[in-house]
Amino acid sequence: MPDPKLLSRLATPVLFLDFDGVLHQADEPTIGGNGEFIPNERLFCWREHLEALLQAYPTVQIVVSSDWRKYHSEEDLAAFLGKDLGQRLLGIMPIVEKGSRAQAVHAEATRLGLRHWLALDDHQSFHEAHQRGDDRFLACHPEQGLDCSSIRHETASKLRWLSWLAKHNSVSVMPVQDFDFIQDQAPCFNQVA
């Protein structure tokens, strides 16, 4: 008989989450000259958007893929996420020094045996993975993150689909085209040349 914990993990919808360029602008100061954390009121200013998006999907768990995991404990990361999101923290990705961020996230999802996952990041490799047709990678503009209405709409649509797949224990993939997405909204990610 299959291990119930394994079956639970396979059915758990997971969001791999970056902080910089997603929950606040990418260039917000965070670390001082001595390596200490710098309190900054603009950090996590878009957290409320993610809280609102996830409110309808209580089973979605979070794995931190942000570089913040290199400098802060899992407990500190949960505190940065706030009460609502911090309770969803499933863990942090291991530090991988080779390959792109998108490759590292994909490798971790595979290692964990996840069937139902999304990843939200401003890294260029996410934009490239999305352009290649892997809709599990959602790319934010580093200066707009979740403050951009079209990325929030796309994230909401993907979360609906992800939750449906997990609820029905389906191994289907994300739809190629999101029919809910409003086509005339301006995209928030401008590819850097």
What is the Cα–Cα distance from 25 to 10, expressed in whole angstroms? Answer: 33
Give the model's confidence band at 34: pLDDT under 50 very low, under 70 low, under 90 confident, else very high: confident
Name all domains of the chain by residue range, CATH numbers in brackets: 4-167 (3.40.50)
Q: 77 by DSSP, 3-state: which?
A: helix
Q: How many residues does the chain have?
A: 193
What is the Cα–Cα distance from 140 to 145, expressed in whole angstroms? Answer: 5
Give the rounded percent of residues in the chain with a pLDDT score beyond 70: 82
pLDDT tens-digit map of 155-181: 999 999 888 888 877 765 554 444 343
Give the model's confidence band at 78: pLDDT under 50 very low, under 70 low, under 90 confident, else very high: very high
pTM listed for this prediction: 0.84
- Cα–Cα–Cα angle for 110, 119, 105, rounded to 5 degrees: 40
What is the Cα–Cα distance from 150 to 52, expressed in whole angstroms? Answer: 15
pLDDT of residue 33 exceeding 60, the answer is yes
The average confidence (pLDDT) of the chain is 84
Tell me the mean pLDDT in the region 22-45. Answer: 87
* pLDDT score at 3: 41
Region class of 54: left (phi > 0), else alpha (psi between -120 and 50), else beta? alpha
| Alpha-carbon Rg for the chain in angstroms | 16
